Amino acid sequence: MHEIAVLPGDGIGHEIMEEAIKVINTVEKRFNIAFKLNHALVGGAAWDKYRKHLPEETLDICEKSNAILFGAVGGPVKEQTSSKWCGTEVNALLGLRKHFGLYANLRPAKLYPALAFASSLRDDIAKEGFDLLVVRELTGGIYFGKPKGRMGKGEDEYAFDTMIYKRGEIKRIAQVAFKAARNRRRKVTSIDKANVLTTMVLWREVVDDIAKEYPDIEYEPMYVDNAAMQLTRNPKKFDVILCGNLFGDILSDEAAAITGSLGMSPSASLSEGNFGMYEPSGGSAQDIAGKGIANPIAQILSTAMMLRYSFDMNEEANSIENAVDKVLIDGYRTPDIIQKRMKKVNTKEMGTLIAGNI
């Protein structure tokens, strides 16, 4: 039995998760497979019952499942100092990443030509569309390197962080990127700053070696400053972008921003083996929560990623992605991506349309 821990969380999390479940139920019927959905609380919703953002009960449910489908956590910004919301994201999200050793973060960024108007890119670049995948190392690098701290006083006060990568950590994430490229357009661009940082010299050496194991994949190393520029000038040139934690944080947000809407951006965080956590890149969107107008596409595409990476169900994942393409081409839009002459739909209607095209 394929078991999925379903953690809707807060705000729009519930609304968009309902549509993802609709899609899962359709995939079950269409492909004659069965999933067991194990529901659990996280974030502010868990606080109300357990006085914890990531209670043991939820961790137990995640542990007995093969994958976690996560919605979003967090409360209204003006209430974030209250005990219910204070630290929600850190406790819930980082807690799950740490507990399950989710070291590989995969964020596809796709600009559908039909949605070119929503992109911040220049019209002539946007109308070409693009489809790339950022593979970011998530548990190492400068965010976690020790020592870090502050010393000294007055004008001599200083602060420091340590950028550190072990050979094994680089190998592990590079393998994820090259394998992912085999299911895509077979190209990996590895991002570094090997002209300045010693850590990045090792990064490049290791990735150069791994690339030799994948002669079928086109490989190109690129400095991070150039990559940031190429993303806005010629995003079509990228297929898989491989990065360490710091550069991946920045470039994956840049890539999501040029697609136009947060409601379209899915993500996967994988650990060793097939376990993973799948979630939209956006948050709990308190400004629209409860109105039934959130875009469920990021949650639905996260579900497709879950089928592909945790359950090895490529055909099923493709059928969901193709259904999303079809509904967009047919002109259906939630308010965040609405445009003149398009058909406006709400969260539930969008979910039903996508499920109907699977």
Which residues are identified as catalytic?
143, 193, 225, 249, 253
Is the CB of 287 or the CB of 312 nearer to ligand NAD? 287
Residue pair 334/295 in contact (Cβ under 8 Å)? The answer is yes
Is the CB of 128 or the CB of 287 nearer to ligand NAD? 287
Per CB under 6 A, does 141 bind ligand NAD? Answer: no
Residue pair 189/222 in contact (Cβ under 8 Å)? The answer is yes
* d(C-alpha 230, C-alpha 122), whole Å: 13
Q: How far is CA 210 from the centre of its chain?
A: 24
Least separation in angstroms between CB 159 and ligand NAD: 25
Per CB under 6 A, does 256 bind ligand NAD? Answer: no
Per CB under 6 A, does 249 bind ligand NAD? Answer: no
Least separation in angstroms between CB 250 and ligand NAD: 16
Per CB under 6 A, does 286 bind ligand NAD? Answer: yes
Tell me the window of 183-191, 225-233, 291-299, 311-319 that interacts with ligand NAD (CB under 6 A): 291-299
Which of 284, 302, 310, 319 contacts ligand NAD by CB under 6 A?
284
Is the CB of 67 or the CB of 211 nearer to ligand NAD? 67
Cβ neighbours of 80 (radius 10 Å): 14
* d(C-alpha 132, C-alpha 110), whole Å: 6
Residue pair 71/17 in contact (Cβ under 8 Å)? The answer is yes
Q: Tokens standing for 106?
A: 């995969």
Per CB under 6 A, does 351 bind ligand NAD? Answer: no
Which of 288, 304, 313, 358 contacts ligand NAD by CB under 6 A?
288
* Near ligand NAD in 20-79, by CB under 6 A: 72-75
Is the CB of 136 or the CB of 193 nearer to ligand NAD? 136
**Tokens 């693009």 — which residue?**
130
Least separation in angstroms between CB 83 and ligand NAD: 14
Tell me the window of 101-109, 218-226, 288-296, 311-319 that interacts with ligand NAD (CB under 6 A): 288-296
CA dist list (Å): 283 to 14, 173, 214, 215, 253: 12, 26, 36, 39, 13
**Tokens 């001599």 — which residue?**
156
Residue pair 125/235 in contact (Cβ under 8 Å)? The answer is yes
Burial of 349 (0-12, 13-18, 19+ CB in 10 A): middle
Q: Which amino acid is at 11?
A: G
Per CB under 6 A, does 263 bind ligand NAD? Answer: yes
- Report helix, strand or coil for 276: strand
* d(C-alpha 111, C-alpha 131), whole Å: 6
Is the CB of 253 or the CB of 325 nearer to ligand NAD? 253
Per CB under 6 A, does 294 bind ligand NAD? Answer: yes
| Residues engaged in binding ligand NAD (CB under 6 A) | 12, 16, 72-75, 89, 93, 262-263, 279, 282-288, 294-295, 298, 336
